[in-house]
Amino acid sequence: MFDPQLMGHRPIRERLLERVRLERTGGSLLFAGPDAVGKRRVAMELAQRELCFRRTACGACEGCRMFKGEDLPVELPNFLRIAPEGKAGLIKIATIREDVLVEGGVITWAHRAPPPGCHRWILVEDAHRLNGPSANMLLKTLEEPPPGTIFLLVTHRPEAMLQTIRSRCERIPFKPLAKADAWAVARREGWEEAQRDKWLALAGGTFRFLDPEAFQRACDQLEAWIAIAGHAGFTESSASLLPDKTSDASQSEQVGQSLELLLLLLADLGRLRDGRELRLTPWAADLAKLAESPLALDLPQQKAFEALRNLTRNPSADSLLREVGLALT
């Protein structure tokens, strides 16, 4: 009854399946946990199972294939996917109210009768990207979804969502995958054993860096922060930290990754100073030098968290990252 290509999170998937069978699934579920840990795929598996020819999410039939591939569907007979768009990376009110995704808008779609033997599943990716008007428009429907309609909100930053949205949803918490599960997927995607340690260290039980270019960029960003913390000039070292204008990812997503890697570096320096196990073991030699320096960790951590909170305001990436970099010197 589970997609064999989907790794990990088996207890969560079993509980969700049982609740769907018993018609005890709440109308609004919030899938919260680390970025790229498989939350979206677990959510989609619920809808996939209903269109699967075997009703098992077999992963091989034509029904299941509609849920596969790089270009995930926006609409299927029992499924609607809402995602951020544009360089700002926001879900705007037009997406909810107007005919941007489906005729009549999302609310109208939610009130239509589901296909026989199915529910209507509405997946909201990166739900923290709902802007104020779009979030407020969804509030009433999230509180009392139409019969047979279930909203699946997915986010790695629940704290950035409106409290009124969070309070209307049942939280389904996700944790990082076991290393064996994460690496099994990476091997399936063509990663070689020689790359295992660095890939696992950066991925941290997620699938964030399955793409080789994304992985290399993350390595470059981490090493840029290591250089800046070691008193290299920000201007000379920061090229990989700044947004790539040719990327499909929004500026805020790209800057957010840079900041998260800095926080990972600072956390590992704290672990090293406390004599605890590192996560970034492939960079242990560089971290050991920084740990022996008088570098303070509190201020750059504070600045990085402040910068993450300000990302939705779309500030200048260079100025924001430069301010954080100054806290390292």
pLDDT in tens, 199-253: 999 999 999 999 999 999 999 999 999 999 999 999 999 999 999 988 878 888 8
Q: How far apart are alpha carbons 139 and 165 in whole angstroms?
A: 6
Q: Are residues 20 and 158 in the same domain?
A: yes
Q: Whole-model pTM above 0.95? A: no
- Please state the domain count of the chain: 2
What is the rounded average pLDDT for all residues in the chain?
92
Q: Is residue 306 part of a domain?
A: yes
3-state SS class at 28: strand
pLDDT, one tens digit per residue, over 283-329 is: 999 999 999 999 999 999 999 999 988 886 767 889 999 999 999 98
DSSP string across 195-224: GHHHHHHHHSSS-TT-SHHHHHHHHHHHHH
Residues 109, 229 within the same domain: no
The answer to the question of residue 1 being in a domain is: no
| Position 55 in a domain | yes
150, 226: one domain: no
Look at the block and give the residue holding tokens 């990476």. 186
Q: From CA 185, how far away is CA 202, in angstroms rounded?
A: 15
Domain hosting residue 146, numbered range: 10-173
Please report whether residue 199 resides in a domain: no
Looking at the fold, whether 154 and 273 belong to one and the same domain comes out as no
CATH code of the domain covering residue 101: 3.40.50.300
Does residue 97 sit within a domain? yes
- Does residue 193 fall inside a structural domain? no
Domain presence at residue 182: no
